[in-house]
Each structure stands twice: as C-alpha cells, then as structure tokens.
Amino acid sequence: MDYEYVIDKASFPKLISSLKPAPYIFLDTETTGDKIRLVQIGDYANIFVIDLFEVPEAVEVLQVLLSAKGIIGHNLKYDLKYLYRYNIHPYATFDTMIASQLLGFEKLSLSHVARVLLSKSLDKSFQASDWAKGTLDREQIEYAATDVEVLRGIFDILRERLNSLPEVERGSELLRSRTARIFGLKNPAAIVEMAFVQEVAKLELNGIPVDAQEIEKLEKEFGRRLQKKMMDFIIKHRTDPLSTKQLGRLLTERLGLNLPLTMKGNVATDDKTLSEFSHVREVQEILEIRKIKKALDKLKELRTHIRNSRVFPEFRQIGAITGRMSSSNPNVQNIPRDMRGLFKASEGKVLVIADFSQIELRIAAEYVRDERMMEAIRQGRDLHRYTASLVLGKPETEISKEERQLAKALNFGLIYGISAKGLADYARTSYGVEISLQEAERFRKRFFEAFKSFRDWHAKVKVQLREEREVSGSTLLGRPFKATTFTDAVNYPIQGTGADLLKLAVLMFEVEIKRTNLEAKLVNLVHDEIVVETRKDIADAVKACLEEAMRKAGKMVLRDIPVEVESTASPSWSK
DNA sequence: GAACACAGCG
DNA sequence: ACGCTGTGTTCT
C-alpha cells in the first residue's frame, strides 16, 4: 500500500494538487482525548496520513480542501464532532456504517463490513494504541493508512447496492441535492441518511439546556419522600415494594387479590393490572412508590449527565430497525411530560418546539392509498370522530367521548396490525373502554368495510407472509425493510416513513436557516418532534422557518394529503 | 452477565 | 398491538 506520512509543510503542495480533482475523499481520524492526532485522507490513487501534532498548520489546508469535498468514512459522526471543533466543515458526507445499516447489516464494525464485502480481515488491534506519544511507530501509521484503503473498497460496493434498491416515486427532488450528485446516489432514503449524519453530529455537540439547580433540588426532595414511603411500606408489610416477587406474594397470598400471571408465570403487578385494584390501600401505596421511584430515577439519570447546565445525550442515527433514532446517556426521548419544564433555555434564549400532528395515520392513509381516509384528511376532519361515525353508523355530532376513544384504538390498530383481541385489550387498558371480543370483532369488520384499501392491504400482507414467510418492502422514500410477522410487516413501512420524514424535515430546516441567515441550535428530536434553541429576539422567525421546513418535507414525502405542524416558542420544553 | 419486570416516551 | 432505554431484582 502506497501512502505518504505528512509531518512537514513541504508536503502540502503535493497533497493539495493530487487531491484537488477528486469529488470525494476517503477520511478517517485517530484521536487522543479531545485532540485529533492523525487525519488520513485519500482518493483512489493517493493516501496521506497527516500528523496534526507535527504539522498543526495542516488544519488550514483541511479547512479549505474539505469545504469543497464530499468525505467518506465509517461512523463519520465520530470524526465530524472532532473536525467541527477544528472548524473543518466538509461539503457533504457518506457514512459507510450507515450505508451498511440501511442495507440490513447487523454487525457494523469496519472490520466486519470489510470482511463481508471484501473477504478481507482487518487488524484492529492498533485502534486502541497510544496515539498521544511523541513519535508514532511505523506500524501505527501504516495501520492508519489501511483504513482509507478499506473505505475505497467498501464504498464502491455499498453505493452500488444502495443504487440497486427498488426505485421509488417520492423524493425525486433529492436527486439534485449535493449529497446525491457528489456521491452518485439514487435512493432518496439513503441520500437523506447520508446528509443527516452531519445533523446528528451537531445535535450531540449542541446538547440540551437544563435547570441544573432545580434537578438537584427535586432529586433530594424525591429521595426523601421515597425513603420515607419505602420505610413505612417495608415495616408495615415486611415486603420490599421494589421486588415484584415479594409484591406478588403479598398481594395474592396475604391480601387475596386475584392477579393474572406474566409470561414467565410470575404474578403481574404492573400499573395496568393493579389499576383495577386501586381501592386496595396497599395497591395505592405501591403505585405511589413506583411513581416517585420513576421520577427519582429520571432525575438521577439527568443529573449524572449534566455539564455546564446542559446534558449531552448520545443519539443513534438508526437506533430502531424502522429507521427511527434512539437516545441514551441520558435518554431524552422518554422524558415524562411533566418533567419537560426542567429543560430550560438560558436567559435571553427560548426553545422552539414543533411536531407533526397524527403523522403516522396520515402516512398510513397515503401508503395504502385509502381514498376515503385521504379525503377525510384533506377535509381536515377529526379522524377519530370520523372513524367512529363510519363504524357505528351515526352522525359525527352524536359521537360520545367513549366512542371516539374506541375509534382511536381502531385507527391505531391500522398502524400496529389490528386483531380483535388486541383491540379489546387496548381499548380497555389505554382508554378505559370496555368491549367484548365479539364486539371487538364486529367493530373491526365494520372498520375494514369503511376503509377498504386497508382491508386489502392487510389481506395481501397475510397472504404474502403465508407464502413467502417474509415481507420485503420499502418506505415512501425507499428505505428497505424485511418483516417476518404480520404486525411488523404493517408497522415498519409506516413508522419508517415517519423516520424518513423527520430526518428530511431537519435537513430542510438547516437549508432554511442558512438561507435566512438565522442562528438556531438543534437540541432534540423525538420521532415526530423537533426542538431548537434560539435567541428570543429571532424566535418568531426561527419558528416560521421550522414550520416551513416541516411542511416542505411533508409535501415531498406525502404528495396527496397535507401534513399539519404544531409549534410554540417557550422558555422551556413544556408547553 | 443474562433475563425479566416495570415504567417512561412516540 | 409497533418502536425504543434505564433501573432494579432475580436467575443461572
């Protein structure tokens, strides 16, 4: 393998002139704590290993060179977070790890992907070597250069595979984007994911502002309250309220409650089960302790991650099989609604919060092209009320609250893969609507008579599963999926299209913000919601930008029905 | 350390 | 009934 180790300014002219013609550059970095030691860059003919400890001046070369280039790397989020710190902003990105994930790989390390695609084994033992030492070994530099060589090989194959995915009608605008043109990409979902890598890197760098003092105060307060309640409970019942095993014995053997069993044959003591016995004192005590415990856990989780009045969660770009993101350390996608006020913008700033209304139902309607539901959405009707009126055969004005709730469960059933039993359970546990299995079956039937395209779709999926044991398909932007159960097969395309839409909306927002010269920080993404931090004085303009971006994305993904966006600007995340 | 139960979110 | 993560207890 041919490479050049750059430790002197004298190498710059050669580096610049040889890489200048390349539209994209393969890139990797080796880092020490908060510093970059090596930047490996190359095209199909050259590899340069730049030692920034030896020639820090190379940063300026990289700033200029990469500002006009696409970069290709494995897990680029990692490299970008460093590069941004050095004010190096590549023009476009292609992440081979994300590409692999999109194509269904489960093991994602560069060495595994290289082994599968190139039948080449990679020695990764140097990755953890000492990159901070004065003079690097020849082996270390060679190892660093190898990564670029591997990237060349897997990029060509991954691009080819992405471009071989079945074509979709939506998102043709994306084929003119810089990402599509530079890397030669044809699949809209892949184009979105590749550009989105930069957004995830920024999201992680931005962090989310919190009220650190309030979190600490509440944690102490909840800690005291929990301790007291726990003590009382343990003394009174000689039972640990956090042990479901002991709890099961107390509730059934000693208190005589008739509780159902869990899958593994334990006594079920979850919230839904116990809510039927809320007249029992002990049950009230348990539920109260659980509530406080949960709040305390969340406060603790947040507190342990606070730095400078912010938390910096890790976001996995494709965290769910459907393409949704996930968040951890701390998880900021499952913050209890009544704790969102703890996420506070600092003085002079606000959070702009926007979400898509009923987005999955809208996606489902267009995905299966159910004319009746699409028309109802176009007319801006209350969809749950409308469904209730069709299923029950009476005017919308006569639909009771309970009937609307039942219809809501039916509509959700579309997204999750409905069954009569599932419907009855869900209506009871989530909405307190009690219906028999026969009634549930009747409602389901009426529902599918009203929305025939959904009936046909579900039937088709079932046949396909029986015959082929699996369903392969794609979201509206062409994100591929494979499902082996009915519920997955009907849910994946809907949830997946929702993921496509949110990511595209964030990209459009970025474009809109640049165009209008506004300043705004993306701070959280929660499946159908975008949270942005900005200065108070420009909040209205940023809010308009965000709404506009989300609507534009909505029009690209759903061509035949409107999306609706709700937004507010507020000092905190709560509304 | 793995598996399970629970609880929070969309 | 779909998709996640964090914490705690219990099993192996």
pLDDT(A301) > 90: yes
Q: What is the mean pLDDT of chain A?
A: 95
pLDDT(A575) > 80: no
Which of chain B's bases lie under 7 Å from a protein CB?
4-10
pLDDT(A125) > 80: no
Q: Does one domain contain both A141 and A9? A: yes
Q: Does one domain contain both A398 and A295? A: no
* Domain termination site, one of A164, A191, A222: A164
Domain housing A158: 4-164
Q: Which of A453, A484, A454, A488 is nearest to A467 (CA)?
A: A484
> What pLDDT does residue A338 have?
95
Residues 291-320 of A with CB under 7 A from strand B: 291, 294
Which of chain C's bases lie under 7 Å from a protein CB?
1-11
Which residue minimizes Cα–C1' distance to C7? Answer: A297
Q: Encode A236-269: b = buried (16+ Cβ within 10 Å), e = exposed.
A: ebebebeeeebbbebbeeeeebebeeeeeeebeb
Percent share of chain A, pLDDT over 70:
100
Q: Which of A498, A491, A447 is nearest to A473 (CA)?
A: A491
A203, part of any domain = no
A331, part of any domain = no
pLDDT(A432) > 80: no
The reply to whether A269 Cβ lies less than 7 angstroms from strand B is yes
How many angstroms separate the first and last alpha carbons of chain A? Answer: 58
**Lookup: nucleotide whose C1' is closest to A331 CA:** C5
* Neighbouring residues of A557: CB distance < 8 A, sequence distance ≥ 6: A170, A171, A363, A476, A477, A497, A500, A501, A504
Q: Does one domain contain both A404 and A275? A: no
Q: Does one domain contain both A291 and A400? A: no
pLDDT(A139) > 80: yes
Quote the number of domains for chain A.
Answer: 3
pLDDT tens track for A173-207: 999 999 999 999 999 999 999 999 999 999 999 99
pLDDT tens track for A491-510: 999 999 999 999 999 999 99
A46, part of any domain = yes
* Domain termination site, one of A287, A308, A329: A308
pLDDT tens track for A373-423: 999 999 999 999 999 999 999 999 999 998 999 899 999 988 988 888 888
Q: Does one domain contain both A15 and A94? A: yes
Instruction: Name the band, by pLDDT with cuts 50, 70 and 90, for residue A218.
Output: very high
Q: Does one domain contain both A132 and A8? A: yes
Which residue is associated with the tokens 């890197």? A201
> What pLDDT does residue A21 have?
96
CA distance A465 to A463: 5
**Lookup: nucleotide whose C1' is closest to A427 CA:** C1
**Residue A251: CATH number of its domain:** 1.20.1060.10
**Residue A158: CATH number of its domain:** 3.30.420.10
Q: pTM of the predicted model, to two decimals?
A: 0.97
d(CA A223, C1' B9) / Å: 23
Instruction: Name the band, by pLDDT with cuts 50, 70 and 90, for residue A272.
Output: confident
The reply to whether A116 Cβ lies less than 7 angstroms from strand B is no
pLDDT(A528) > 90: yes
**Lookup: nucleotide whose C1' is closest to A298 CA:** C6
* Domain termination site, one of A308, A331, A348: A308
> What pLDDT does residue A422 have?
84
Mean pLDDT of A129-145: 91
pLDDT tens track for A439-461: 889 999 999 999 999 999 999 99
pLDDT(A62) > 80: yes
Q: Does one domain contain both A147 and A224? A: no
The reply to whether A287 Cβ lies less than 7 angstroms from strand B is yes
The reply to whether A266 Cβ lies less than 7 angstroms from strand B is yes
Q: Does one domain contain both A123 and A222? A: no
Q: Does one domain contain both A233 and A375? A: no
A148, part of any domain = yes
**Lookup: nucleotide whose C1' is closest to A322 CA:** C3
A363, part of any domain = no
A479, part of any domain = no
pLDDT(A574) > 80: yes
A115, part of any domain = yes
Instruction: Name the band, by pLDDT with cuts 50, 70 and 90, for residue A428.
Output: confident
A201, part of any domain = no
pLDDT(A33) > 90: no
Q: Does one domain contain both A248 and A142? A: no
Q: Does one domain contain both A15 and A152? A: yes
Q: Does one domain contain both A22 and A135? A: yes
